[in-house]
Structure 1
Amino acid sequence: MVYLLGIDKGTSVIKAVVFDTEGETVGVSQRRVQVLQPKPGWHEEAPEATWALCAETIREALTKAGLTGADIAAIGIAGHMGGAWLIDSDGATVRNAICWPDERAQADQIAMEKTGLLTEVFAISGNGLMPGITAMLLGWLARHEPETVTRTRAVLCAKDFLRFRLTGEIATDPSDVSFVPGDIEGRAHSARVMELCGASAWMDKLPTILPSGAIAGIISAASAAETGLREGTPVVTGLGDACANALGVGAIRPGAALTVLGTSCLNSQVLGAPGREPEGLGFLFSMPLDRYLRILPNTSGTIAFDWFLERFGAPLMPDGTPDFTALEVKASGIARGAGGVTFIPYVNGSGVLAPFYDTLARGNFFGVGSHTSYDHLLRAVYEALCFATRDCFAAMSTRPQSLILTGGGAKSAFWSQLFADVCGLPIEIVATEESGALGVALLAGVAVGLWPDLETAAARTTRIVACYRPDPHAARDYDGWFDLYRRTRDVYRSYSTARADLRLVPEMAA
């Protein structure tokens, strides 16, 4: 029996997953990544600590699968996009890694917006900017930490750093280049975008671009000793997590749509050619097979849910984690519309990227009255993330015919049905819960000849295990609540601008 290993480096969690050739998970291990915040709004990691967690998860996944490294035919790596992982000429890390939620370059982004430079960046890349995008961070480092420029040999993304530790080879792929961002038509780095972001000094430190499914290196003797993998095992270049998730759920044909319920809710459609509508918003990533992934993200995805539970409390399991079954019972006991409460879920300090661009936009509860209970607020949070997803797809040029839902929230039948009712679309749930790891495992399998092509690999491993169809009465009700949601978020956007003008205490800036 032949097996594949997929590594998924998320913002909060790193996973190693062993799959068989039917796409079944036979061993999985995960660890929480330690987030460092040396200053308010900063989001960093210690790269070597993250690599140690990666090695640990690989060893444990193999053990849980009852396998050794010799059983693994090939390896793929997915990782969160953006950020900056810097290594020197000896392969040592130059500084802590900076990850995409980082806000340090927010003032630079606002200045670019005022001068109209974001329009040119979007024309080249198909991507809106955010403070944690690679080029913005490199521009900030060039101004505030110029010594890092001279010390750095290569600027890597998260997956590329882990692959470097596994193989000793430096490279990246077109999907991560998309979020530097680069030239989307050319699938290449863009000197002009780097210039606009004040990052020209870094141009010669951007790595070679290889196809996502190319064999980019082999497991080195050193990493084999740390991970339990077999020296010489092929490792493919891999994908940014958004694209990996699409492959992992079988969304590879133009028109396919999916929403990843993660830290950001990534609302995506597969395109056969670069498409930029709506102009100036969201992201456009290069996919394998000369396809593209158009994404309008709700940057305050499940972090909005986490925020609510941390501030207002939650029923707990014996191990101290939230009891999501009990939470769903509470929310399902409240009628549609949450007793008149509308939640605007913009709690991310980076603001909103879609379906409009506003770095100052913040969240709120509207419609709270003397009758409002915890359960009403909870229901409003569940509904709000569905409204935010519908809001993003409504802004795209083509309405999807169905929507694949993945991520942790997709395990919930209550929430999946709510998405169907709010969005007015059939919601499909696939068998795998590890779609990012599976997506890059499929690339690895094709690279070593387990399948002839990606279409065959996806057809062999994708299984729809549940479908939730919209209830016509609920869908009609939610048309009205969705209209109120959109009017409310527009009003509160103006309040967020006024709030920003009144801020006096720096530590209250978020």
Structure 2
Amino acid sequence: MSKYILAHDLGTSGNKATLFSVLGEMIGSSVTPYDTHYFNEKWVEQSPNDWWDAVCNSTKQLINEYSIEPEEISVVSFSGQMMGCLCVDINGEPLRNSIIWADQRAQKQVKDLEQYLTQEEFYQIVGHRNTASYGIQKLMWIRDNEPDIYAETYKVLNAKDYIVLKLTNNYYTDYSDGNGMGCFDLVKLEWSEKIIEYSKIDPNKLPNLKPSTFIAGKVTAEASKLSGLAIGTPVVIGAGDGVTANIGAGSISEGKTYCSLGTSAWITTTSKQPVFDPDMRIVTWAHAIPGYYAPNGTMQYAGGAFNWMKETICTSEELKAAESESSVYDYINKQIVEAVPGSNGLIFLPYLLGERAPRWDSVSKGAYIGIKSETTRGDMLRSVLEGVTYNLAIILDILRKHIDIEEMIVIGGGAKSEVWRQIMADVFGLTIKVPNLLDEAGSMGAAIIGGVGVGLYDDFDVINQFITINGTQSHNRENEEIYNCAKQQFDDFYFSLREVFEKQSIKTEQQNIRKYYEEIKISKLSGGEVI
């Protein structure tokens, strides 16, 4: 008798296998890490063999640890990192490492596409900007720089699609990962003939597109030996991690919205139509639920800015926590709570790594603006959380122009902070809800997709069996008024400084070039060569 659903979440740092009962209880999880290779400044790759080994190891570990029979697993489904490019041959063998989402080498290929399509035209087809992050530009790079590999490529896949291939011998991708290829018509839910024509990519190298609930096949005898799964176990293709989290966070109908607050952060909602922002500040994904879309805005450095603050400003708090054997966050949060909303006029720009949504600005920097003699340490700490939240609020305001949003679920590490959740409630003017499982949205989403795919569940409303809301925070009207003024100042300061950051970036680049040539001269002199 089938009792369990197995969900695999293939992230950037490793694979997380999670076992759920068909009633929605999380039984346990197992994480297997793998390496990421960073080189040539903008190149980032992973070995697909590492993905497969991680899936096999984590599956066996769960089966052994919880003493279950493989036949009791009713379905395997997936969430996975998006916007990759893995070339496999006609036998399904990888021809090279996968170029993953973080890789930025395909800058020339972006410009090649811009000869035929403006950014606005590209955005109106895909729901995303034309950037080096997406799969089609990476495949163009392989064609231009590794022609032998391109010629031998039978299909190009993303991470979860490769594991599905290993389990079933079938080549598919879902609409969300198709969307991440950057040559996908978001309205028609099919490959864009126009973008493929202008990219000069062979369309036969792209896999067949299917909804996330599609049963891609069954576990083969060979895959069973390696993975520990039973022969014939149904394999549902699942979706990219950016949209499986929609389901796991309860964003399954129009206006249902969540914020993932980790190192980066994003706000995503659910809509019946794509949202095309005239200024292209947000993107829209094909939702994991057929017939829906997932408008989204992702900022570069959210919890990352908080961590920067902890590591640089809060060294004394770190020492106190070590001496008292308590959490450093207790000392930090106490000061943030004691600081007044609005941080006594102090504004923090959280652009320590530039910014994606809503700025799409690679040169801006972080900044404290408005430091006065009466500024306190608590003001400086609180303003970091407020600055991140102001940036998220701009994303939310864009979404609200198209969709009614009345409440928000918050997940991720930042959701553990009660004071941050209250700041979000007050800045957004929304009720903030926190679920019982903050780090399982992707896995739960994949599990539910699998359950719907094989008919265990009638629809996606079953998410209510999986998640429980542990806390709710309402917004404070007085604080909301303070933050409305502060949000406007935050925006004004950014636009006032953008030109300054641009000049600073140009100057820094010139200095780096001079330094590079100086180092070459010194190197030649030390070798006895004449300059």
* Contact map agreement 1:28 1:64 (CA 8 A) in 2: no
Please state if 1:403 is matched with 2:403: no
Query: In the alignment, which of 413, 425, 434 is matched to residue 418 of structure 2?
Result: 413
Structure 1 stretch 434-443 or stretch 378-387: which is displaced more?
A: 378-387
Three-state SS of the structure 2 residue aligned to 1:277 is coil
**In structure 2, how many angstroms separate the alpha carbons of the residues matched to 1:250 and 1:372?**
40
* Per-residue deviation, residues 108-154 of structure 1 (Å, max 9, x unmatched): 54786698621111121122233211122222333233333113221
* Contact map agreement 1:278 1:395 (CA 8 A) in 2: no
- Name the structure 2 match of 1:183: 185
The structure, 1 or 2, with the larger RCO (C-alpha pairs under 8 Å, 6+ apart) is: 1
Aligned length: 503
- Name the structure 2 match of 1:450: 456
Give the deviation of 1:507 after TM superposition: 11
Trace 1:162-173 onto structure 2 (pairs within 5 A): 162-173=163-174
**In structure 1, how many angstroms separate the alpha carbons of the residues matched to 2:302 and 2:168?**
34
TM-score, L = length of structure 1: 0.89
Give the deviation of 1:64 after TM superposition: 4.2
* Contact map agreement 2:218 2:234 (CA 8 A) in 1: yes
Give the deviation of 1:436 after TM superposition: 0.8
Please state if 1:150 is matched with 2:151: yes
* Per-residue deviation, residues 75-130 of structure 1 (Å, max 9, x unmatched): 11011221212222232222222222222234654786698621111121122233
Three-state SS of the structure 2 residue aligned to 1:201 is coil
Give the deviation of 1:295 after TM superposition: 1.0
**In structure 1, how many angstroms separate the alpha carbons of the residues matched to 2:328 and 2:91?**
47
**In structure 1, how many angstroms separate the alpha carbons of the residues matched to 2:364 and 2:197?**
28
Give the letter for the 2:208 counterpart.
Answer: T
Give the deviation of 1:370 after TM superposition: 7.0
- Distance change >3 Å, CA 33–CA 462, structure 1 → 2: same
Please state if 1:247 is matched with 2:247: yes
Trace 1:21-420 onto structure 2 (pairs within 5 A): 21-106=22-107, 109=110, 117-181=118-182, 182-196=184-198, 198=199, 200-287=200-287, 288-309=289-310, 315=318, 323-338=328-343, 340-348=345-353, 351-368=354-371, 376-396=379-399, 397=401, 398-420=403-425
Give the letter for the 1:458 counterpart.
Answer: I
Give the deviation of 1:236 after TM superposition: 0.5
Structure 1 stretch 351-360 or stretch 94-103: which is displaced more?
A: 351-360
Structure 1 stretch 90-99 or stretch 285-294: which is displaced more?
A: 90-99
* Contact map agreement 1:401 1:425 (CA 8 A) in 2: yes
Three-state SS of the structure 1 residue aligned to 2:40 is coil
**In structure 2, how many angstroms separate the alpha carbons of the residues matched to 1:221 and 1:507?**
60
Three-state SS of the structure 1 residue aligned to 2:297 is strand
Give the deviation of 1:286 after TM superposition: 1.6
Give the deviation of 1:206 after TM superposition: 0.8
In the alignment, structure 1 segments of 5+ residues that lack a partner are: none
Three-state SS of the structure 1 residue aligned to 2:39 is coil
- Distance change >3 Å, CA 32–CA 336, structure 1 → 2: farther
- Name the structure 2 match of 1:495: 500
- Name the structure 2 match of 1:441: 447
- Distance change >3 Å, CA 53–CA 449, structure 1 → 2: same
- Name the structure 1 match of 2:429: 424
Three-state SS of the structure 2 residue aligned to 1:495 is helix
Please state if 1:468 is matched with 2:470: no
* Per-residue deviation, residues 318-365 of structure 1 (Å, max 9, x unmatched): 8x99854444345434333345443322334xx534224334444333
TM-score, L = length of structure 2: 0.86
Give the deviation of 1:67 after TM superposition: 2.4
Give the deviation of 1:159 after TM superposition: 1.6
In the alignment, structure 2 segments of 5+ residues that lack a partner are: 517-531
Three-state SS of the structure 2 residue aligned to 1:343 is strand
Give the deviation of 1:500 after TM superposition: 3.3
Give the letter for the 1:452 counterpart.
Answer: D
- Distance change >3 Å, CA 437–CA 365, structure 1 → 2: same
**Identity, % of aligned positions:** 27
Give the deviation of 1:235 after TM superposition: 1.0
Three-state SS of the structure 1 residue aligned to 2:188 is coil
- Distance change >3 Å, CA 129–CA 306, structure 1 → 2: farther
* Contact map agreement 1:167 1:218 (CA 8 A) in 2: yes
Give the deviation of 1:53 after TM superposition: 2.2
* Contact map agreement 1:6 1:441 (CA 8 A) in 2: yes
**In structure 2, how many angstroms separate the alpha carbons of the residues matched to 1:326 and 1:20?**
39
Give the deviation of 1:58 after TM superposition: 2.3
